[in-house]
Amino acid sequence: MLKAHYPLERFSSIRTPFYYYDMALLRETLEAIRAQVANRPAWKVHYAVKANHNPVILKQIASAGLGADCVSGGEIQAALDAGFAPESIVFAGVGKADWEIILGLKAGIGRFNIESTAEMRVIAQIAAERGVVAPVSIRVNPDIGAHTLAGITTGLAENKFGIFHGQVEEVIREILSLPSLSYCGLHFHIGSQILEMEDFAALCNRINSICEQLENRRLPVGDINVGGGLGIEYGHPNHLPIANFQAYFNTFSELLPPRYPLHFELGRSIVASCGSLIARVLYVKEGLAKKFAVLDAGMNDLLRPALYHSIHRIENLSSDGKETIYDVVGPVCESSDVFGKGIVLNECHRGDLIAIRSAGAYGESMASQYNCRPLARSVFSE
Ligand code: LLP
């Protein structure tokens, strides 16, 4: 069984479970993005902090010159602390609290992506009270589906996100009438873990028809933030560790007119592959119908499989034994605390080190202390 190379000797003295980050792979991924955008000066990539807010990871990404995409005051603060330029920070989210709006205004962030007219008016009022002008873009609900997990589509009319695309014109007019707001552009995001470029192509078609309509009415379009969502190959982390950035960026450059400056908000595709959750086998349990490998990591450490039935490749790092089929489960008192069913692993024994791959995105950032379990620490390759 092909496995990634890990420093097992180093691992032997670290208490499991922990997150392990391959910083060389993170840098390689950032370089792959840089290579795509280097000749496109009007493009800006913002890292979606929600995917992983570990300060070491954030600093590495900030030093590569990316902006930050934040969805809370806490994320704005984490981005500022890590060295992201305030003007490179964009702030989205359907429920921005007053203190978060004030934090963004004080810090001088680059954009508030407004999700409703109610929110727009509150931002206008708070900015006016402070004598400042808030830069805003409209988060548009494009009513475009995506071929991904139901829990992570965001661009359908039934989803809570954004302002319906048919209302954009009237919202722009209102923004233009409010002196404490400056209109900057449009923002979209159709979902996450998207591998079919046709989904992004459908988004481009919708963007083009909205922009055409605005231009016909002599209304400004501004810049266009197409959101994030590029997926990774969870099944093949050893063969395909870097997302297909070329196909992704080419889709937008081919389908959107070059006169619009473009912004992107990538999360998963930047950090997923570089992270693994490392655990140990506590027990091998022979059930009536199957064998269970019971790990010392649980759904509180990595929630994705329990929440979305998502697949992560799992490897036994300590064994070359006979390939055997296991349900790989955690210790949490929930039947859904399962990392994978019917997983082929080299024969497991108590104490074996297990890697749950591609856990760098939405792993540590979604961890909790459910069952009073301590948060897994993070370990870096350097
Ligand atoms: N921009 C906006 C407005 C978003 O809502 C998101 C993700 C992103 C950018 C980044 O998307 P990415 O490039 O990472 O796909 N917890 C789920 C994923 C939730 C994504 C939420 N929004 C998971 O573990 O799969």
CA of 71 to the centre of ligand 1 (A): 10
pLDDT of residue 306: 97
What distance in angstroms lies between residue 191's CA and the mean position of ligand 1's atoms? 7
Instruction: Kindly give the distance from the C-alpha atom of residue 7 to the centroid of ligand 1, in angstroms, as a whole number.
Output: 31
Residue 92 CB–ligand 1 contact under 6 Å: yes
- Assess whether the C-beta atom of 111 lies below 6 angstroms from ligand 1: no
Smallest CA separation from ligand 1 atom 23, residue: 362
Q: Which atom of ligand 1 is nearest to the CA of 229?
A: 15
Please indicate whether residue 171, judged by its CB atom, sits closer than 6 Å to ligand 1: no
> Residue 77's pLDDT is what?
98
**Among 46, 49, 50, 195, residue to substitute to test ligand 1 (most atoms within 8 Å of Cβ):** 50
Residue 239: is it exposed, middle or buried by C-beta count within 10 angstroms (0-12/13-18/19+)?
A: exposed
298 lines ligand 1 (CB under 6 A): no
pLDDT tens track of the chain, all 382 residues?
778 889 999 999 999 999 999 999 999 999 999 999 999 999 999 999 999 999 999 999 999 999 999 999 999 999 999 999 999 999 999 999 999 999 999 999 999 999 999 999 999 999 999 999 999 999 999 888 777 766 666 667 777 778 988 899 999 999 999 999 999 999 999 999 999 999 999 999 999 999 999 999 999 999 999 999 999 999 999 999 999 999 999 999 999 999 999 999 999 999 999 999 999 999 999 988 899 999 999 999 999 999 999 999 999 999 999 999 999 999 999 999 999 999 999 999 999 999 999 999 999 999 999 999 999 999 999 9
Ligand 1 centroid to residue 139 C-alpha, Å: 15
* List of residues 6+ apart from 252 with CB closer than 8 A: 200, 204, 226, 262, 264
Q: Is the CB of 193 under 6 A from ligand 1?
A: yes
Q: Is the CB of 93 under 6 A from ligand 1?
A: no
Q: Measured in angstroms, how far is the CA atom of residue 179 from the centroid of ligand 1?
A: 32
Ligand 1 close to Cβ of residue 268 (< 6 A): yes
* Cα 48 to ligand 1 centre (Å): 7
Answer yes or no: is the C-beta of 267 below 6 A from any ligand 1 atom.
Answer: yes
Residue of 163, 192, 195, 203 to mutate, ligand 1, most atoms within 8 A of C-beta: 192
CA angle 34, 35, 36 (to 5 degrees): 90
Whether 96 lines ligand 1, by a CB cut-off of 6 Å, is no
Q: Determine the atom of ligand 1 nearest the C-alpha atom of 307.
A: 24
Q: What is the pLDDT of residue 153?
A: 65
pLDDT at 147: 74
Atom of ligand 1 nearest to the CA of 93: 3
pTM of this structure: 0.96
CA of 160 to the centre of ligand 1 (A): 14
Buried b (16+ CB within 10 A) or exposed e, 282-302: bebeeeeeebbbbbbbbbbbb
Task: Report the C-alpha gap between 67 and 40 in whole angstroms.
Answer: 15
Ligand 1, atom nearest to 266 Cα = 13
Q: CA-to-CA distance for 295 and 14, rounded, in angstroms?
A: 15
